[in-house]
Amino acid sequence: MTQAQKIRNKINTLQYNQEYSAKIFDDIASQEVVKKTLQRSQHMISKTSTKRFYRLYLDENSDVAPYTTFDNQDKVKFNPNDYSFNVFWQTSKPSIQSVSSVIRNYLATMNPNDIQTLCNNFGRNRVKRELIQKYKEMYAQGFLNVKGMEIALVGRYDRNPAFIEILGMINDC
């Protein structure tokens, strides 16, 4: 049995809804083999931003969002009635959207009620992480394009007044 197979077998013995680090595989293989195996095992695990992972759980009745809801879920069934207004104007009915696009679009509205709903649905840490990533990407680009007009972004992203205000709303959740 190869090291990768041993790692996959051990993943199948792990509990659901519990976060694990790669250290649980130290007795099986080197860190490089563990890293490569975890990268290839997307159907078995789902990684978080903290370099940890969860064992995925597939619900037999659910084909829309098959995994339990953690901060690593890629797609979600989006219902516009949960929010103050629909930022996905293409459809007024429930649809499948990526978690990142839902969070980023509603963060841009700066509506405290919608941000509270985001925190309830996806967790405060996930919403905060998306906010930070969005502003880092904007500042890395160096400008903000508003209807063809480019506004230069200077300084640090975490000192932006809009960032500070939205972060305060998230922290109040």
Q: What is the pLDDT of residues 13-46, one digit of tens each?
A: 877 767 777 788 888 888 777 777 776 666 567 6
> Domains in the chain: how many in total?
2
Sheet containing strand 53-55, strands side by side = 19-20, 53-55, 45-47
> What whole-number distance in Å separates Cα of residue 95 and Cα of residue 89?
11
Per-residue model confidence (pLDDT) at position 164: 92
Sign of CA dihedral 127, 129, 130, 135: positive
Cα 72 to Cα 75: distance, rounded to the nearest angstrom: 9
141 shares its domain with 97: yes
Residue 136 lies in a domain: yes
Angle at 121 between CA 41 and CA 81, to 5 degrees: 125
Would you state the pLDDT for residue 113? 92
- Range(s) of the domain holding residue 104: 75-171
Structural domain includes residue 66: no
**Are residues 44 and 81 located together in one domain of the fold?**
no
Tens of pLDDT, residue by residue over 54-65, are 776 654 443 333
For residues 23 and 80, membership in a common domain is answered with: no
Q: What's the rounded Cα separation, in Å, for the pair 173 and 170?
A: 5
Task: For residues 22 and 71, give the distance between their C-alpha atoms in angstroms, rounded to a whole number.
Answer: 18
Determine contact, residues 160/135, Cβ cutoff 8 Å.
yes
Q: How high is the pLDDT of residue 46?
A: 67
Q: How far apart are CA 50 and CA 45, in angstroms?
A: 14
* pTM of structure: 0.56
Q: Is the residue at 70 inside a domain?
A: no
Q: Are 167 and 84 part of one and the same domain?
A: yes
Q: Where are the beta strands (DSSP E) in 2-81?
A: 19-20, 45-47, 53-55, 75-78
Q: What is the pLDDT of residue 66?
A: 33
Are 45 and 101 found together in one domain?
no
pLDDT tens sequence for the chain (173 residues): 677 778 878 877 877 767 777 788 888 888 777 777 776 666 567 666 666 777 766 544 433 333 333 444 477 888 888 888 888 877 788 888 888 888 999 999 889 999 999 988 888 888 998 999 889 888 888 888 888 888 888 888 889 999 999 999 998 88
